Chains A and B, each alone.
Chain A
Amino acid sequence: DAGVTQSPTHLIKTRGQHVTLRCSPISGHKSVSWYQQVLGQGPQFIFQYYEKEERGRGNFPDRFSARQFPNYSSELNVNALLLGDSALYLCASRQGSYNSPLHFGNGTRLTVT
């Protein structure tokens, strides 16, 4: 079975621009989470979606938004990019229960110049 797939793998944007990152979960997984990983740190929680509804949001500004589609894939959108948004953005899927483990994709490396 295919794992979590993310696109694009790398992205370079300019300050003030907008970016959309995409994620397809493992088949059968209904829940998708987004995490930001800054170089040298552990992943930080951004959003959790389950059955197309937002179930949790981390301490990120409103410039960050996400949605989940009927096929359980997901998009993360970031508006008005800042230099500090440069990071690895990880998508993870899980089977749905709150304590089930996360299965990560290989991430999208975003560089903001």
Chain B
Amino acid sequence: GQQLNQSPQSMFIQEGEDVSMNCTSSSIFNTWLWYKQDPGEGPVLLIALYKAGELTSNGRLTAQFGITRKDSFLNISASIPSDVGIYFCAGATSGTYKYIFGTGTRLKVLA
């Protein structure tokens, strides 16, 4: 099935470092969502974006809706061990109920 491309696929970082990841699409989206998924659990919504260029924060997390509407970015500042998990982006076009998810970025934090 169709999936968005997320980069990087996985990353190891030191506790306290900042993290950046991105998500790209060949299609234009009207909504971007970012989720975190821990083992054995469902994805948890982190941030929702609705307008090109929009920058939204949730604590140490900041996400941006790319101006081309074909990409989105997530930054995590001052990472902590509980940031470990898989981060998924998801996008939806106008007039559809379906979200397309990315391939995921697996984050591992070294204490």
Chain A interface residues toward B at CB < 8 A: 4, 31, 33, 35, 41-45, 48, 50, 55-56, 58-59, 90, 92, 98-99, 101-107
Contacts and interface: CB of A to CB of B under 8 A. Distances in A.
A42 B102 contact: yes
B8 interface: no
A43 B97 contact: no
A55 B42 contact: no
A105 B40 CA distance: 11
Contacts of B88: 42-43
Interface string B35-56: 1000011111100101000000
A41 B97 contact: no
Contact of A104 (B42, B95, B103): B42
B43 to A, nearest CB: 5
A107 B44 CA distance: 12
Nearest to A35: B101
Contact of A99 (B35, B44, B50): B50
A92 B70 CA distance: 24
B44 A104 contact: yes
Given A42-B104, A44-B1, A98-B92, A106 B42 contact: yes
B13 interface: no
30 contacts: A4-B42, A31-B97, A33-B99, A41-B104, A42-B4, A42-B90, A42-B103, A43-B88, A43-B90, A43-B101, A44-B1, A44-B3, A44-B101, A45-B99, A48-B98, A55-B97, A56-B96, A56-B98, A58-B1, A59-B1, A90-B43, A98-B94, A98-B97, A99-B31, A102-B33, A102-B99, A103-B45, A104-B35, A105-B42, A106-B42
A12 to B, nearest CB: 16
A99 B104 contact: no
Contacts of B80: none
